[in-house]
Chains A and B, each alone.
Chain A
Amino acid sequence: MNELLQQFLIESRELAEHATDDLLALEHAPRDAELLDSVLRAMHTLKGSAGIVEFFEMEQAVHAAEDALGAARRNLGVPERAVIAQGLACLDQVMEWLDAIARTGELPRAAAAARPVQHDWSAALLERHPDALPLATTAIRYIPDADCFFQGEDPIAHITALPQLLAFEMQPAQPWPPLAALDPFRCNLVLLALTSASLESIADHMRGVSGKHDIAALSSQGQRLDQSLTAAARHVLASQLALVDGSPPPPFGHLASAAITASNVLRFCGGDAEADRLAGIAAMDRADMHAALRAALSGLLADPPEEKSAAGRAPQPAVRSSRTEGTPRTLRVPAERVDALVRLTGELTVARNALSHLARLAALQGNSLAPLLKARDAAFGQLTSQLQRAVLTLRVMPLRAVFQRFPRLLREISEELGKAIQLKTIGEDTEADKAVAEALFEPLLHVVRNAADHGVEDPALRARQGKPPTATIEIRAARQGDQVLVEVADDGRGMDVDRIRQTARDRGLATEDVLGSMTEEEIIELAFAPGFSTAGAVTHLSGRGMGMDVVRTVVERLGGRVSIQSQAGKGTTVRFMLPFSVMMTTVMSVQAGGQMFGVPLDSVVEAIRLPRSALSAVGAARAVVIRDQTIPVVDLSQMLGDHDRVPDSTETTLVITSFAGQRCGLEVDKVGEHLDIILKPLDGLLAGTPGISGTTLLGDGRVLLVLDVGEMLQ
């Protein structure tokens, strides 16, 4: 189901439930204006959202109910019981529709046939004019423009001149102001009328008048009634029809009693209007009765009952309870509450780590409770990690929400560029933390734009190269362990390594020597350098030279990595590796200068122990050569301010980190265990300390500072 429809379902359910509760309360306290306002607000929003998903039947139905209640508020301040009942029936119908959408993922097609409360104002009007009931076929509601008097219109004269008028009412459109403030030349009228003329002739009569008017065919009364006909009632009506249709034609007396039987059945089912109509037929002359009765009965039985049964009209508790079964329910919870839960879970993990520490301590001291403590700790540990996983999934959402914005965007982009490009998305169900999914949109957009602008060739060029004229950009997502892989692949020209090298030279991003010694991958990596752009012309879409470095910054801020693979003539793939959750981080604990630090595991390449002599001085700095690659080395404790340290052994430990394609060795005293932590951002006095991304509490109560490798290396 598409995201929009899903959102619509959740919201509409809430609104409909809310309005139903208020309406039920209003039944007992009809004078409570606040309740009525609340119902009207909910209905108004409900109507609006139905319009947004283009579910017009629902929009109309709710509009009608809203209108009837709104009119009640304007005129009397107290809605009639019948109007409240209509509102409830409408909301019930809405709930059924919503359930149908939840089941099928689509707007119900039979909705058009249902329309249970479409013309509520007309039903109410009919109720007020029982004398007009048997004859009325068309109802009109006319709200002239406020300035219609200036246009020379006389709306009342126009309405009272309607053909075959049966009833006429006028009401204020807005509550009257105090008489002294009344503007007599501003029309504030709602005119209502019932006629026995046809809908077409009324439409003709109303053509060209200002303002808005609704014309309702009252034959829909019959249809509405039909929905509530029980199977038994249908059976009785059908047997009357069989009698009427029988050959030879039944005698006059049989016909009249058939009409009366049908009338009674209808009255029993609550269809007073139809019952009256049939009673009228029973009183007709012999000549007319046969045809009239036949038409009336076949009209009542015209539609198959299955379609109608879905549109029950009375709000019944039984219907409601059956509805809840099998329909997935969603609970909407404010994000802060989920975050609070995540935070608490983090603290629970810390508390559990303290317990582990205690268990280890007890074991060291040979305490007799140690084995028990250890067993408890293990159980506790399992539960906390389960809890942690469960809590983190609360923040998880499918990437579809991000992906589904792209088809429209790509269509705009391709139109602007004059290139035919199709979009394929794979793995939309892949889930990621809300923060990751939301932050992913912008980098993805940059990359997709780049692919369309720089990657995809002009149609003519594609044709010469024997490629299909329509280029393809594919967005793929997949879960890989604790990470989420997202790729954007195009089938364009690929990255031009020579051109990148040339541009890097021109822009002074690297010296000739360095460029000469770089591998192809390293050259491509230069595209991520700030201020790099190879676009021949700066277009509206990309080529401002900020694309790829922004992409890298955003992705790395999320704790992810981004890389490019490119094949000349075949296309480019940009690959994002993102953490599944930003709340959980795995760090490698290291010791330097007597203090513990955490290094995010996703930036650690390896940890090695090697003789101190392997480090060579390069100017003021030091470097080490590992597998033919020269890597700069920094002493972590020195870097963090401990200058007096004297090396106490001939060996040293290096943690090789990688950030933005750059490698660096951190010299540390000791490498410790891997820890799953929930990172707390720095706040208070420590906020903004460079090189530190956050802290977490260790089991023994110490604070672990987690390093921000990227920031440190700058």
Chain B
Amino acid sequence: MSVSLGADRQILLEGSCGSEDAESLLQLLLSMPGAVVDWQRCSMAHAAVLQVLLAAGPPLRGTPRGEELARWVGPALARLDQ
């Protein structure tokens, strides 16, 4: 499973997150407002998943493994937080 609940009530994004993961990510974020999302082991995330991150704006932990995510998406998400 690419979206899961880790230790310390952290939400983990791992491997390749497809569009179907968007719903479970949203549910986790809804049930735990303010939870941190750890995406260090995420290599790829579909736009639907990223859109949930964009809308919910949870704190993100680490730099994702995927190059595109690290180089472009991370800064783009951070830009909106400013």
Contacts and interface: CB of A to CB of B under 8 A. Distances in A.
A160 B44 CA distance: 12
Interface string B64-77: 00001001110111
A171 B30 CA distance: 21
Given A171-B80, A172-B55, A176-B55, A165 B72 contact: yes
B48 interface: yes
B37 to A, nearest CB: 14
B36 interface: no
Given A168-B72, A169-B79, A184-B23, A154 B51 contact: no
A180 B30 contact: yes
A182 B52 contact: yes
A256 B71 CA distance: 35
Contacts of B5: none
A179 B53 CA distance: 11
Contacts of A169: 76, 79
Nearest to B50: A156
B26 A184 contact: yes
Contacts of B79: 169
B46 A154 contact: yes
Nearest to B54: A170
Contacts of A171: 80
B47 A156 contact: yes
A176 B26 CA distance: 13
Interface string B4-41: 00000000000000010011011001100000000000
Contacts of B55: 172, 176, 179, 182, 188
A680 B65 CA distance: 86
Contacts of A149: 19, 46-48
Interface in A139-157: 144, 149, 153-157
A560 B29 CA distance: 78
B47 A184 contact: no
A179 B30 contact: yes
A169 B75 CA distance: 8
Contact of B22 (A153, A155, A185): A185
A685 interface: no
Nearest to B77: A170
- Of the listed residues A160, A161, A171, A184, the one surrounded by the most CB atoms of chain B closer than 10 A to its CB is A184
A179 B56 contact: yes
A160 B26 contact: no
Contacts of B75: 168
A529 interface: no
A185 B30 contact: no
A509 interface: no
A189 B76 contact: no
A160 B68 contact: yes
Given A184-B22, A184-B48, A184-B52, A161 B30 contact: no
A708 B19 CA distance: 80
Interface string A43-56: 00000000000000
A168 B76 CA distance: 6
Contacts of B71: 160
A179 B23 CA distance: 12
Nearest to B29: A179
Nearest to B46: A154
B80 A154 contact: no
A179 B51 CA distance: 11
A187 B73 contact: no
B51 A189 contact: yes
Contacts of B44: 157
Nearest to B24: A184
Nearest to B21: A184
A207 to B, nearest CB: 19
Given A182-B52, A184-B26, A184-B51, 12 more contacts: A144-B47, A149-B48, A154-B47, A157-B68, A160-B68, A165-B72, A168-B76, A170-B50, A184-B22, A184-B48, A184-B52, A189-B54
22 contacts: A149-B46, A153-B47, A156-B47, A156-B50, A157-B46, A157-B47, A160-B68, A160-B73, A165-B72, A168-B73, A168-B76, A170-B73, A171-B80, A172-B55, A182-B55, A182-B56, A184-B22, A184-B48, A185-B48, A187-B51, A188-B55, A189-B51
